[in-house]
Amino acid sequence: MKRNRRPPKNRPAAPALSPSEYVEAYVHFATELCEEGDVDRALLALDKALALDPESATVLVNRGAVWFLKGRPRKAVSDFTRALKAQPSLSTAYYNRAQARVRLGHLRAAVRDFTRFLALEPSDAEAFNNRAILHARTGNLKAALSDFNRSLGLQPDNMEVYFNRGLVRFLIDDITGARADLEAAIRHAPQDWPLLTKAEAVKAKLALIETCRLGRPPAAE
């Protein structure tokens, strides 16, 4: 049976949306599509939003995030950069661009982006941890320790930051400090923490190193 698709004559017409409301609707739709794993259709929705507002920082940041999810960090960096030209104080764009630049191996550029982000969001513990990791990877261990300290000052129960700082302390030959950080990581970690076994193994090795340096034989099990 065929359906009559003509609306009743007395049915009110749907209110027309403004261009900005269409943009907002496309962004919302793209977010839902990403949550469902349909990143290709999310890109199409965001492309339509940009056709209506080519300089929308919000749309560009969202499209950059989708490009990142698709494994296209160069395109992501391009969209984040365009977003920052439109809105230089958009902290999310700096954070996301840093992540994309890490994926590309541009670590020092990523450090600069995290620095710009933290100038706008100085209470973000995760960003300090991320920048610390990049400092460590580029050989700036002193800066890495400083950032780990600041991260823990904001979030003192983060086992991953203790773990990371412990590894850096080991690299600068602070065995006692490294062991203390590993113990703190284990103390704060849930039983299903993926790095728990590794943290316990590293702590045991550090204890052995510390004991040998003190001139004592390791204790019998």
Q: What is the mean pLDDT of each run of 10 residues along the chain (221 residues)?
A: 44 61 90 92 94 94 95 97 97 97 97 98 97 96 97 95 94 91 88 80 73 52 41
What local confidence, expressed as pLDDT, does residue 203 receive?
77
pLDDT at 6: 47
- Are 63 and 94 spatial neighbours (Cβ–Cβ below 8 Å)? no
Query: What global pTM score does this model have?
Result: 0.82
Q: Where are the chain's structural domains? A: 149-216
The CATH number of 149-216, from 3.40.50, 1.10.10, 1.25.40, 3.90.79, is: 1.25.40
Q: From residue 126, give the alpha-carbon distance in Å to each of 12, 79, 149.
A: 51, 23, 12
